[in-house]
Amino acid sequence: MKQYLDRAILVAVLCVMAALGIWMQISLLEPVTTETVSGPGREPDYYIQNFTATGRDEVGVIYVLKAERLVHFPDDNTSLLDKPKLIQYEKGQPSRRTTSESGWMSGDGNEILLTGDVEVEQFRSNDDPGNITRTQRLLVHLDRDS
């Protein structure tokens, strides 16, 4: 009987050691990953090089927006613009060109926040000698109704 008890204890100790080894390998030696799977995040879904968009109304072209690159974010439909150039047209007024280092376009496309060496050039007309305005931030509303 003692012989069976000794063998049972030996087998139990070996099983406990094997289980402890497996547990240590799984939980202590393997790096813990805390990756969560979620829906669309702050990762862009596409890029456009040499981007150009033309805004129109019932009269005609109201603006032309160009950028070296557009980066689109699907979670809120916003876009990052690299080196944007915006030319705005208004009936009876001289056109206006706005440039900057970067820009952020709203999800509905009606606003652009321009940042970094923003320059607004109001072109000359018969009644206006034109001017240049410089700033670091400028919010432009592209929708005429806003």
pLDDT per position as a tens digit, 28-70: 655 555 554 444 457 888 899 999 999 988 888 999 999 999 9
The angle at the Cα of 44, spanning 47 to 84, to the nearest 5 degrees, equals: 50
Q: Any idea where the domains of the chain sit in the sequence? A: 1-35, 46-141
Q: 46-141: what fold?
A: lipopolysaccharide transport protein A fold (2.60.450)
pLDDT value of residue 100? 96
Written in H, E and C, the secondary structure of 18-79 is: HHHHHHHHHHHHCCCCCCCCCCCCCCCCEEEEEEEEEEECCCCEEEEEEEEEEEEECCCCEE
pLDDT value of residue 3? 73
pLDDT value of residue 36? 47
- Global confidence as pTM: 0.66
- Residue numbers in the chain where pLDDT is lower than 70: 2, 20, 23-25, 27-41, 144-146
